[in-house]
Amino acid sequence: MTSQRHPVNPLELASFGPVIPVIVVDRVEDAVPMAKALVAGGVRVLEVTLRTAAGLPAIAAIAREVPDAIVGAGTVRGGADVHAAHEAGARFIVSPGYTKAVGDACKSLGVALLPGVSTGSEIMMAADDGFTFLKLFPATAVGGIPLLKAFSGPFADIAFCPTGGVTVETAPQFLALPNVKVVGGSWLTPADAMKSGDWARITELAKQASAIR
């Protein structure tokens, strides 16, 4: 099913709150109650990864049944993934790295892309193709806050969403940097809460994330 909702501008993703949850769905039936729990806690932008077989059908279910959610696909690694995610209803794409094939596929479909980078060369390649809001990944492993501070000099026109190792405790430190617009985090949907269907806990974690400044 192709989503009939309008695509989002990449930087618009940062306007809905300080944290974009990075979500792994193992059971399709968990997708809708999980998404509703996050939205109830004030988190509307949801990155559902394609790391499991449930990823694409979960995106489709959320796009169809949770209209207040802005659902996107993460762990997108090629053009075929882009097309499949868009067909499922994803309104934005997040990739762990950057390739021209992924960039071109997103451009051809008019879907927002938040491409992953970890080096100056990757930033330059993405920027050459018109992408200036990028995901630093895996953020803490590649240098975290010191690296982002270093990037602010030569890449003053680039904004980042650091993802990978960011926690509720460190998120405010990342968000305090002028070149960070939003952070990605997996702590909002912990595996044990997903497995047990503890949606109230996920709502509380979403409320906590929404309050980060």
Question: What pLDDT score was predicted for residue 119?
Answer: 98
Whether residue 29 is contained in a domain is answered as yes
Indicate the helix (H) or strand (E) that contains 115.
strand 112-117
List active site positions: 47, 135
Q: Could you give the CA distance from residue 35 to residue 96 in angstroms, rounded to a whole number?
A: 22
- Structural domain boundaries enclosing 69: 10-210
Structure confidence at residue 4 (pLDDT):
44
| Token pair belonging to 145 | 């806050």
In this predicted structure, what is the pLDDT of residue 203? Answer: 98
Per residue in 131-152, pLDDT (tens digit) is 999 999 999 999 999 999 999 9
- The full length of the chain comes to 213
In the chain, the percentage of residues whose pLDDT exceeds 90 is: 95
Residue 11: Cβ-neighbour burial (10 angstroms; 0-12, 13-18, 19+): middle
In a domain, 129, yes or no: yes
Average pLDDT taken over every residue of the chain = 96
Q: Which tokens hold the place of 167? A: 């926690």
In a domain, 93, yes or no: yes
The pLDDT of residue 2 is 39
Q: Which tokens sit at 33?
A: 């109650």
What tokens does 15 get? 């306007």
5 occurs within a structural domain: no
For 14-31, the pLDDT digits (tens) are 999 999 999 999 999 999
Beta bridge partners of 32: none
Residue 136: which CATH number?
A: 3.20.20.70
More confident residue, 162 or 3: 162
Once rounded to an integer, what is the mean pLDDT over residues 116-132?
A: 97
User: Is the pLDDT score of 70 beyond 50?
Assistant: yes
- DSSP code of 54? T
Query: For the chain, how many structural domains are there in total?
Result: 1
